Every structure is written in C-alpha cells, then in structure tokens.
Amino acid sequence: MRFYLVVFATAVLCCRSQPGQAQERFLLFESKTAAEHGFTMERPSKISESEAVQHAIRDLLAHLDNVGNISSFDTFSKTKTSTTIKNKYEQIGPLMRNTTTFTGEKERENAFRGNRRGFIITVRATSFKAGTFGSSSDYNRLTGVRKSRAWGTLLYTFRVYAPEGFQSSLKAGDSSSTDSTRVKYTIFNGTGRTVRFSMQPSGRSYSLDRGKTFSGTSSATDGRQPTITLTDSGRTIKLVSGDHKFWWNDDESRVAFDLNYKK
C-alpha cells in the first residue's frame, strides 16, 4: 500500500541531525485551519492569479515584519494562538513577551540560527480562498496608460516554535490522564538521493542518506498517531509500527512513502 508522506519520531539510528536545525526548537503550536490575509495590488500590466498569489505571500511576510510578538500576531491573524499555548504549557506565560521572528517554512533554519531567545513563527501560503480572486485591467486610449488591479484573500497556515532551549512540561495531573502506545518502525531510503524530513509533535528535523535506514520509536498519545513531514513537498502521513520505505515517484518528481514495506 503506497502513500505520499511526511513523518514523526523520537529515537533515531542511521541518520544525521543537522546543527542549527529544528531539534533546537520545540514545536509549540501548529494551526489546524487556515488564517486569512486580504490583499490588493496595482500595476500597469495585466496580473494573473498565480502572479497575484506570489505578491500576496510577499505582502503577508512584509506585514508580519511589523508584528512584535505572539499577542500582536493573534490580533493580526484573528486567532487565539497565545491563549492556546499558555493553557497547554506550564510557566510559558512570561516568555510570551519575547520578540517573535516570522519567516517562511522553507527558510526556518536560518531563523533558528539567528534568533536564539525569541519565538519563531513560520508561515506557509499557497493559494487564494476559493472565489475571492478578482482582477481588472483598463486601458486609457487618450493617455495610452493601462491600469490593472488584482485582489484576493490569501490562505495561510503557520507553526509556532519555542525559544531555544525550551523544554515542554505537562501541567500537573495531565500525565496521569494520558494513554500512550509505543510506535516502533524503520524507514529505508530507496530514493537514490538524500531525504530530509521533520517529526511531529517533537518538531525535530533529520537528513537520511540514500540506501540508509532510519529506526525510531515514537508515541501514539490518546489515539493520536505521530506523523512525519517531508521537507521537499510538505506532505504529512500518520506513522504506524513496522518497516517502511521512501521511494522516488518519477511521475510527480517527489519523494513518496510505502507503509508495510517488505524487505
């Protein structure tokens, strides 16, 4: 049975973790629903939807550069991220005043190295909300000037990483109500190239050379399976016990994943 993938784990054999990568940052929060960012642009030439999306992403990051901390981000994104994190993690309240750096998910490693004490919020955006994109283009024959305009509502998801060195701790009483099951597995890299991936909920990132095998033990807590995410595609899949395999999908030019791979 074949699936496309992204993954999670806690113990590792036969793979490298990279200095300055996600193992230095604990993943505090990952949005389950997309936030929205309204966008408009004008220029003389016509504007396609794909162009407008790229401009909207840059506009979103430019606006986030002016957001100082997570509480301000809540106001901007119309979410309750800070409240959720405070309720989940013990003694994190005072840290919420720390500065926050915003970056794209693909560029997060540079932010990890450059922002040691602050939070990191990574953003991933790919498209406008269905039915919100519009454009117009008017040509003034008298002046010879064309005026084009485009607009839409950009959808984006985000992750919040803790300051460097943060260690998670459950609130008093939480551990007794948690039912954990061990998930033991191996992943063989049969792609013919290096595969990079991150684990959830730990937020750790790894690099696995071709022909090598990754071995791990994770926890399924309260029925929620650990997951793994591929860096190149951003795809995520639930992880189960057993032998698995990375393979290269030529049709889609991406890493794919086999559950229950037979050696």
> CB of 65 within 8 A of CB of 123?
no
Whether 121 shows a pLDDT value over 90: the answer reads yes
H or E stretch at 83 = helix 81-88
Confidence band, pLDDT 50/70/90 cuts, at residue 35: very high
Residues written for the chain: 263
Of these ranges, 60-69, 104-113, 214-223, 230-239, the one predicted with the greatest mean pLDDT is 60-69
Whether 12 shows a pLDDT value over 50: the answer reads no
Whether 131 shows a pLDDT value over 90: the answer reads yes
Question: Do strands 213-221 and 180-189 pair parallel, antiparallel, or not at all (unpaired)?
Answer: antiparallel
Mean pLDDT, all residues of the chain: 80
What type of residue sits at position 221?
A: T
* Mean pLDDT computed over 138-158: 90
> CB of 72 within 8 A of CB of 92?
no
Q: What is each CA distance from 117 to 20, 97, 107, 114, 128, in whole angstroms?
A: 14, 11, 18, 9, 34
| Percent of residues, the chain, with pLDDT higher than 90 | 33
Torsion-angle region of 166 (φ positive above 0: left; ψ -120 to 50: alpha; else: beta): beta
Walk me through the domains of the chain, giving residue ranges and CATH numbers.
2-20+179-258 (2.60.40), 27-136+146-161 (no CATH)
Whether 28 shows a pLDDT value over 50: the answer reads yes
The predicted pLDDT at position 98 comes to 82
Q: Which residues contact 34 (CB under 8 A, 6 or more apart)?
A: 155, 156, 157
Q: What string of DSSP letters covers 85-139?
A: HHHHSTT-GGGGGS-EEEEEGGGHHHHHHH-SSSEEEEEEEEEEPTT--EEEEEE
Whether 50 shows a pLDDT value over 90: the answer reads yes
> CB of 160 within 8 A of CB of 81?
yes
C-alpha triplet 161, 165, 168: angle, nearest 5°: 65
Confidence band, pLDDT 50/70/90 cuts, at residue 194: very high
| Percent of residues, the chain, with pLDDT higher than 70 | 82
The predicted pLDDT at position 167 comes to 66
The model's pTM: 0.55
pLDDT in tens, 155-189: 999 999 988 877 654 443 343 333 457 788 889 99
How many Å separate Cα 41 from the centre of its chain? 27
The predicted pLDDT at position 24 comes to 58
What type of residue sits at position 115?
A: N
> CB of 180 within 8 A of CB of 223?
no
Q: Smallest Cα–Cα separation from 191: which of 244, 251, 255? A: 255
**What three-state secondary structure class fits 225?**
coil
Taking each helix axis from N to C end, the angle separating 70-77 and 81-88, rounded to the nearest 10 degrees, works out to 130
* Mean pLDDT computed over 19-33: 68
Whether 92 shows a pLDDT value over 80: the answer reads yes
* Mean pLDDT computed over 230-254: 86
**What three-state secondary structure class fits 218?**
strand
Confidence band, pLDDT 50/70/90 cuts, at residue 225: confident
CA distance 125 to 104: 9
Residue 227 DSSP label: E
**What three-state secondary structure class fits 40?**
strand
